[in-house]
Amino acid sequence: MSSPEIASLSWGQMKVKGCSATYKDCKVWPGGSRTWDWRETGTNHSPGVQPADLEEVVEKGVKALVIGRGMSEALQVPPSTVDYLKKNGIDVLVLQTEQAVEEYNALAARGVRVGGLFHSTC
């Protein structure tokens, strides 16, 4: 099963190929996507993305994970979150969201089992 392409990205909205939903923030993995609802784990811009935000995507067997920090990179990603991924043998890229989507799509096009968490504002 391949990772779905991010079909479009603009401030406050993202579309995933093969999905009718428009996301503000989303999680993607091989074979699927869904809204990334920060309220589920109490996520805020600071301290930022926590391992609990990633668990669902990690459980899908990804080999790489791309995190988009927002258009202005306001979303923090603490070292402990990066360490969590590395300890699970997952390559991680943390980038501004437009760059993150480009990298994610490139990895997906190459057939890498890649997942992503993308914040489309701030």
CA atoms within 13 Å, Cβ hemisphere of 54? 30
Query: For residue 20, what are the domain limits?
Result: 6-118
Residue 60 has a pLDDT of 96
Cα–Cα distance, 65 to 28 (Å, whole number)? 9
Q: What CATH number does residue 40 fall under?
A: 3.40.1230.10
Residue 52 has a pLDDT of 96
For helices 79-87 and 51-58, give the axis angle rounded to 10 degrees: 30
Strand runs labelled E in 1-122: 6-10, 13-16, 22-23, 25-29, 32-35, 64-68, 91-95, 114-119
pLDDT mean for each 10 residues of the chain (122 residues): 95 95 97 96 94 96 98 96 96 98 98 97 92
Provide the b/e sequence for 31-68 (b: ≥16 CB within 10 Å): ebbeebebeebebeeeebbbbebbebbbebebebbbbb
Is residue 26, in this structure, part of any structural domain at all? yes
Question: Into how many domains does the chain fold?
Answer: 1
Residue 1 has a pLDDT of 84
Q: Are 71 and 11 in contact (CB under 8 A)?
A: yes
Is residue 1, in this structure, part of any structural domain at all? no
Is residue 112, in this structure, part of any structural domain at all? yes
Q: Are 8 and 23 in contact (CB under 8 A)?
A: no
